[in-house]
Structure 1
Amino acid sequence: MIDAKFARYDAYKDSGVEWLGEAPAHWEITRNKDTFEERGNLSISGDETLLTVSHITGVTRRTEKNVNMFMAETMEGYKLCKKGDLIINTMWAWMGALGTANEDGICSPAYGVYKPKKYQHYNHRYFDYLYKTPHAITEMTRNSKGIVSSRLRLYPKDFFQMRTALPVEIEQTAIADYLDTKTAQIDRQIDLLGQKATQYGKLKQSLINETVTRGLDKTVTMKDSGVEWIGEVPAHWKMRHLKNLAEIRGGKDSKAVDLDDGGYPVYGSGGIFGRASKYLYKKPSVLLGRKGTVDKPLFVSEPFWSVDTMFYTDINKNVDVKFFYYQCLTIQFGLYEYGSAVPSMAQNVLRQILFATPEYYEQKIISVYLDKKTAQIDSIIATINAQTDKLKELRKTLINDVVTGKIKVVPEGGAA
């Protein structure tokens, strides 16, 4: 355990390092070349544990990653790395793709592997926190070489020239211990809020499913819909194919109408991704994914353009648009999609999907009810997400302030 004080150190100095600002007076201002050196050893057999680096998870085993990237036939000649080494993805350092290894292994020859120099003050967990701060990543970007951001490379000689302010190893350990504890506490809160938001999302979907297949009057006579995933429906409702409720139309390429700003929204299966000088359709519509994200129908009330990965619908006059949208939210897309690499939906398959459908006046009553109820749930979820965002920002700020000495952390038994 450590005794951490939310206070500043007794004295500070100008570090002379732009991304750090002032630093505790007793911390050493040093360049990375004084702390690290390249490991430089290569695997002979290629049989060691393969490690990979990402900006999200840091250094992890390749087997723990769900990736479909090409694997080399042999990993002979891959770089050896030892527990505690700092590993940087040279091509993605500007995104924060780096971290320290928690075990021995090997990694891609394209990575930079840096070991601490002998007798240097070094706790790898401290450096793991330090170099993932936004300011540190910005500094790595500044020292990277390349014409455009996607081509930037952080080469060893440039990494070695970076300067930082470092405490002695006992303080590094105290800081890492403190942050391990505090970030774990924050992460638990974030996880609980995420579970809560997920439950409300499930409640919303359950409400929609129940209401658009069974209606609001629970006393009416029911009948078997003939569709397994729908079950029983009110006896006076009719089973109608989607093609009898709306006409499905294909999107078009937007290159000829692209705008940088203004105009009309351009939709793909992932949502809005651009603007257009013209609209493809101006009436309220429900958009259905053709390729990519196919299980998230969108309701659009303004003029829009959709590209060829997204169908749009011309909805019949005797169909309430919002009710039709809620119907589409109940589709079991997994039963109808095809394509293992890129999920896809065929227009003719969508047109044959059956819905239980009441008369227009009842559709309207149901859609108004669902608008109100789902808006209430969405408001709760938005509040939860805002709390989550605040915790994430708190986590980021706490790490930055502690590893750069803005908040004082005292090792157990040390002077306060």
Structure 2
Amino acid sequence: MSFQRYPEYKDSGVEWLGEVPAHWGVLRLKNVLAQKVTDGPHTTPVFIDEGVPFLSVDGIQNGELVFDGCRFVSEDDHAEFKRKASPRRNDLLMGKAASTGKIARVKVDFDFSIWSPLALIRIDRNAALPEFVEYILKSKATQAEIDNYCTANTQKNISMDDIPRLILTHPPIEEQTAIATFLDHETAKIDALVAEQEKLIALLQEKRQAVISHAVTKGLNPNVPMKDSGVEWLGEVPEHWAVGKCGFYLRILSGFAFPSSGFTDDDSDHRLLRGANVGVSRLKWDDTVYWQRSEGDGLDDYEMVEGDLVIGMDRPLIGEGMRVAKVTAEDLPSLLLQRVASLKVGSKLHADYLHYLLASEMFIAHFSPETTGVSVPHISPDQINKFIIPIPPMSEQLAIVNDVKRLLTEFGGLIAESEIAITLLQERRSALISAAVTGQIDVRNWSVSESA
């Protein structure tokens, strides 16, 4: 789909905006407000199990308000809160602290309250169309402008005084309506394509997990005689395999309680391997603190060794999977901090094979009953030691490891293709919004039938 440009342009007078259609205006957000920008309470309310929905900035996801899993406040508290901020249909909510710049338009008619990290922006419909302003605020250029206004102490935030200073393009109302209608239709098509790719990724991840779990529990030979493992969630295993508790085949070391007062930012010191650094199948060092070693400090046991497995003990399971990773040469030198455990395997267990077992649905089934309902799920060395695993001969473990690595490469390639497709679609979406709200394309004569 291609669009013509407007017949005539003028300098907007704003460096980052450049030229706009000659008949468009350029103004600040304050010029189209129906009321002063406000926010929710700055105190922590009393949350209850049922009541009036209460949203903070995490209630904005992918540009929409999400009430699933939200907190609730009482009718009395809501009555007090709404004296300051009472969201209604077509109001715009903007993240002004932590996740600054998140934008969503209210599309519901029921009552809810907002917390202080959200700003409520009410547009005067005689001055501008809220649907159009929403797209401007979500555009790449305006998001950059929001970021420029932000200050950062403990977290990024934009002040209530700076929000009304944001610059908007201002076409005639009928054009704002045409642009918003065009973007609603075209972004919905792009979002549907993104959703298809996300569904494909989820299916691939599910299939990958199933294939890996089958390999590490049933082996690679479909014709081998099987036996009952004696463990309900493990089921049958090859007849010649052993079955036993993890503790018989490995040694677990919990990290040392390094005091934060001794942390350094000198990258010539040893990195501290913290829970924040343990990702799914890899260690992440984008948030790193260091420790200066000295002779006789008694920390030799906590020096990481290439090939060790490490597991995050707090919140071990996240959306991507189990927080288990293998230490590589690039991760050294590093020291093990508390809330992380290292696993050193014995002669009858291959580290990679154990890694796949710990990343499997079996291990999740093993520890989940004891962590359900806990605010910060945590696993202990004892839980790991008691995890019952199948133990093939070492030659089979090696064969399984090699086959799983091959499968991971294949699935990883397919998932990467879908992720690239999503990135390109999102870039297309962003470019389309920016082009439309800045007048770089003329959609005045566009129609739904034309885009079908």
TM-based fold match above 0.5: yes
Partner of 1:76: 79
For 2:7, what is the secondary structure of its paired residue?
A: coil
Measured on the aligned residues, the alpha-carbon RMSD in Å equals 3.2
Partner of 1:332: 363
CA shift at 1:153, angstroms?
Answer: 3.6
State how far apart, in whole Å, the 2-side matches of 1:55 and 1:195 are. Answer: 21
CA shift at 1:57, angstroms?
Answer: 4.8
TM-score, normalised to structure 2, is: 0.78
Match among 245, 249, 254 for residue 250 of structure 1 = 254
1:67 and 1:312, CA in 2 relative to 1: closer, same or farther beyond 3 A? farther
Asked whether 1:382 is paired with 2:385, we answer: no
Please show how residues 150-169 of structure 1 align to structure 2 within 5 Å.
Answer: 150=155, 152-155=157-160, 157-169=161-173
Q: Quick one: which amino acid aligns to residue 337 of structure 2?
A: V
For 1:384, what is the secondary structure of its paired residue?
A: helix
Please show how residues 25-44 of structure 1 align to structure 2 within 5 Å.
Answer: 25-38=22-35
Asked whether 1:214 is paired with 2:218, we answer: yes
Deviations 1:358-393 (A, max 9, x none): 111221122112212221211211122111112112
Asked whether 1:85 is paired with 2:82, we answer: no
CA shift at 1:347, angstroms?
Answer: 1.0
Deviations 1:299-344 (A, max 9, x none): 3333444432221111113322212212222233244243411111
State how far apart, in whole Å, the 2-side matches of 1:118 and 1:125 are. Answer: 10
Identity of aligned residues (%): 23
CA contact (8 A) 1:13 1:23 kept: yes
CA contact (8 A) 1:91 1:153 kept: yes
TM-score, normalised to structure 1, is: 0.85
Partner of 1:203: 207
Deviations 1:19-77 (A, max 9, x none): 3222111111222232113168999xxx987665555355637xx14245887951223
CA shift at 1:86, angstroms?
Answer: 3.1
1:236 and 1:335, CA in 2 relative to 1: closer, same or farther beyond 3 A? closer
Q: Quick one: which amino acid aligns to residue 185 of structure 2?
A: T
CA shift at 1:411, angstroms?
Answer: 4.1
Partner of 1:139: 145
CA contact (8 A) 1:171 1:411 kept: no
State how far apart, in whole Å, the 1-side matches of 2:240 and 2:227 are. Answer: 9
What runs of 5+ residues in structure 1 fail to find an aligned partner? none
State how far apart, in whole Å, the 1-side matches of 2:345 and 2:52 are. Answer: 59
Match among 349, 361, 367 for residue 395 of structure 2 = 361
69-78 or 289-298, which deviates more: 69-78
State how far apart, in whole Å, the 2-side matches of 1:284 and 1:260 are. Answer: 26
CA contact (8 A) 2:242 2:390 kept: yes
CA contact (8 A) 1:32 1:162 kept: yes
Q: Quick one: which amino acid aligns to residue 311 of structure 2?
A: L
State how far apart, in whole Å, the 2-side matches of 1:12 and 1:261 are. Answer: 52
Match among 101, 111, 119 for residue 106 of structure 2 = 101
1:372 and 1:259, CA in 2 relative to 1: closer, same or farther beyond 3 A? farther
For 1:409, what is the secondary structure of its paired residue?
A: coil
CA shift at 1:204, angstroms?
Answer: 1.4
What runs of 5+ residues in structure 2 fail to find an aligned partner? 41-50, 294-301, 448-452
Partner of 2:153: 148
Deviations 1:79-127 (A, max 9, x none): 23442233344445x711333322454544745444334732x221111
Q: Quick one: which amino acid aligns to residue 338 of structure 2?
A: D
Match among 315, 323, 329 for residue 292 of structure 1 = 315
Partner of 1:314: 344
CA contact (8 A) 1:52 1:59 kept: no
67-76 or 77-86, which deviates more: 67-76
Partner of 1:280: 303
Number of aligned positions between the proteins: 401
State how far apart, in whole Å, the 2-side matches of 1:305 and 1:283 are. Answer: 12
164-173 or 334-343, which deviates more: 334-343
For 1:355, what is the secondary structure of its paired residue?
A: strand
CA shift at 1:182, angstroms?
Answer: 1.2
CA contact (8 A) 2:139 2:434 kept: yes
State how far apart, in whole Å, the 1-side matches of 2:225 and 2:115 are. Answer: 69
For 1:402, what is the secondary structure of its paired residue?
A: helix
State how far apart, in whole Å, the 2-side matches of 1:56 and 1:6 are. Answer: 30
CA shift at 1:235, angstroms?
Answer: 0.9
